[in-house]
Structure 1
């Protein structure tokens, strides 16, 4: 798809950012509601993390099976179709009569939520090369806001209408966004890719073998989003219990502490455009590791936990935007496959982090959860440092004329 096929103005960029916020929110709506879901369905707290795990499993499947289609089909049609199917999945969650049906519906929500990555790839290919990192950062800011506001909105709505009301409202919002994008989003003719869908999927899998930059950035994504999910999946449990006893709305307010992550997302894209992606990554990973010192003290001070949330969200999103900006530079024709392959690492990390966090909390409490998160964060920082010591990191493909194989 040509990067100059359609001018990308500020209005369309903001619309895509808003659409990403709405779509990604569906993945995170459950986090402040886990305790209420467990009580409603009679599920032990040690198992309730499977709600997040099922969503992330669906998300991972969608990244491999659906997102690459953006390099083969008209992305506008693909985006609108996913939003409509996502609305149906959200309604199924709202009406789920039991635990098994709920998990299946949540997996379908995750499967359709990968529309976010199709929209990020679409925005990157519509932007001019000089503004690609900035545009990716702006659209990803919408993703960050969606993640953060999802917790607050779901908490407020749950206090008023219950957790099922949250998902009924999300279904209506997804339907409305589908209609708006069908009206406003420009279509674009994709370039022919291989011999069809099978060749497309195989080329996506081969990226892990052939693309060193993807491997490097994928490992970092897996680790930083595991740490991110460890915090947000387990934090609701101690905050809902004594001595804090916070309700869903109050827990959701903690999402506002991470609003700096949205600002970091936009600026990190600009830094990548200026050739400072590696430096940004190193500082962000160091900050991520240190953030757990503050998060480990919620019993002494909720303010310390707020500080930890702010630092963690800032660091994670800075790494995330830098990763995407470096991967997409100069590779518009394979943007969907690159994003899909990269985000599989993201989704795997998020799912593993959620399941591990709820289990560790059930066994040893919040202190052990913080040790787990700090260890994962330090591991990510160590991987980045090793890349620096062993030699020059893989360059972005804006610097490699034809380095990637598709």
Structure 2
């Protein structure tokens, strides 16, 4: 138990040669954002390619559905099994090693000629794509407390942009050179990023040595949830907001592809560009957190999330209404997401990887739940029912915040926090 407590004690995450600001220039933060977006995009590339991949490898509909499922299962396992390693190992080496292994998984997918090899590659790719969260925790650890919200916001904007643009990029590349080119291009870019990060990232980040063995490390993640009420509340908020996010993005292609809109696959994928505009709010949310306004930011964002479903309900009759709804929803989700990560990392900076990895497990649960519920509900009751579900989830998140805000005062991500 002594080991557990020692590993959870808050300490400064400064570099050995000086403060965090010495190594975390704006250029390095942007590099973190690009690397995060590139890594997480791999999880979403397959969604517009499923029919083509299934036809190419003569896969049954059930096996084709398993592509997305196994990728997300691998990602969920990686959040729990790999991300916590950032608290006990050199994060620079861990990031580079994960990126190089990710290249191997991507090459396996790109060259697969049987369903079994493809599915194994997809699972491994999902497992290793959690390097995204290792990078988020790394950036948060390097950032001085007064700038942590802004740094997390900028890095998270890269994550969201990668998620939203993955479908668009995959569709364009597949049209130009086939579906395998998507994963070959990603493998090449990942190799380049691994080389650049190996050269740019600091060798030592001030992460304290720990005597925790791997099993103890995983158990301490559970211990953190048992001890920290703020972590439990923010994780539950994360589950709800990403359930709402997934409710929209997993089902929006259905009404857009049907009459009266009947948009092409390219046009549908382009809506990710609209969502990316809303994701830029992540940076602004980070700045508000640095000013000690995390509770106010959360409340306003959750109110916008609930309101976004009103214009979204008019998607079939107005693409302008859809654009407004998409921007509001993505703005709100990313504002809450950045606030969540900033606050929970401040609880125990020395356990930042475990905190963010454990939090993101709830993100995965929410995303999977929203996707399954939305697609099932659409087939049974139509787009109006999907919007009602999204609004209900959003209102539940707002109610949770309203009921608990007095019991969780603003820790404020400032130097005194």
Find the residue that maps to 1:300 and give its secondary structure: coil
Aligned with 1:385 (options 402, 408, 411): 402
- Cα distance in 1, alignment partners of residues 63 and 396 from structure 2: 26
Partner of residue 40, structure 2? 24
**1:47 Cα deviation after fit:** 8.4
Per-residue CA shift, 1:74-100, capped at 9, x if unaligned? 001110111111122223333344555
Unaligned runs of 5+ in 2: 1-10
- Cα distance in 2, alignment partners of residues 302 and 43 from structure 1: 34
Structure-2-length-normalised TM-score: 0.88
Per-residue CA shift, 1:355-376, capped at 9, x if unaligned? 2223333333333322222222
Find the residue that maps to 2:407 and give its secondary structure: coil
**Higher deviation after alignment, 207-216 or 24-33:** 24-33
Aligned with 1:224 (options 209, 229, 241): 241
Partner of residue 364, structure 2? 347
Aligned with 1:214 (options 213, 231, 239): 231
Aligned with 1:123 (options 139, 158, 162): 139
Are residues 301 and 96 of structure 1, via their aligned partners in 2, closer, same or farther at CA, if it must alter by over 3 Å? farther
**1:263 Cα deviation after fit:** 2.1
1:168 paired to 2:184: yes
**1:227 Cα deviation after fit:** 1.2
Aligned with 1:136 (options 152, 156, 159): 152
- Cα distance in 2, alignment partners of residues 301 and 42 from structure 1: 37
Structure-1-length-normalised TM-score: 0.90
Partner of residue 3, structure 1? 13
Find the residue that maps to 2:208 and give its secondary structure: coil
Partner of residue 343, structure 2? 326
Find the residue that maps to 1:234 and give its secondary structure: coil
Unaligned runs of 5+ in 1: none
Contact 1:82-1:112 within 8 A present in 2 as well: yes
Superposed, which structure 2 residues align to 1:257-406 within 5 Å?
Answer: 257-329=274-346, 331-388=348-405, 391-393=406-408, 396=411
Are residues 231 and 200 of structure 1, via their aligned partners in 2, closer, same or farther at CA, if it must alter by over 3 Å? same
Are residues 123 and 399 of structure 1, via their aligned partners in 2, closer, same or farther at CA, if it must alter by over 3 Å? closer
Partner of residue 246, structure 1? 263
**1:36 Cα deviation after fit:** 4.4
Superposed, which structure 2 residues align to 1:22-61 within 5 Å?
Answer: 22-34=38-50, 36-37=52-53, 43-44=60-61, 50-61=66-77
Are residues 302 and 397 of structure 1, via their aligned partners in 2, closer, same or farther at CA, if it must alter by over 3 Å? closer
- Cα distance in 1, alignment partners of residues 27 and 86 from structure 2: 22
- Cα distance in 1, alignment partners of residues 382 and 185 from structure 2: 34
**1:200 Cα deviation after fit:** 1.0
**Higher deviation after alignment, 336-345 or 103-112:** 103-112
Are residues 161 and 248 of structure 1, via their aligned partners in 2, closer, same or farther at CA, if it must alter by over 3 Å? farther
How many residue pairs get matched?
399
- Cα distance in 2, alignment partners of residues 102 and 371 from structure 1: 37
1:191 paired to 2:208: yes
- Cα distance in 2, alignment partners of residues 343 and 193 from structure 1: 23
Are residues 85 and 237 of structure 1, via their aligned partners in 2, closer, same or farther at CA, if it must alter by over 3 Å? farther
Contact 1:154-1:252 within 8 A present in 2 as well: no
Per-residue CA shift, 1:307-363, capped at 9, x if unaligned? 221111111000000111111126321111111111111111112222222333333
Per-residue CA shift, 1:220-267, capped at 9, x if unaligned? 001111111121112223323444343332222101112333321011
- What is the Cα-based RMSD across aligned positions, in Å? 2.5
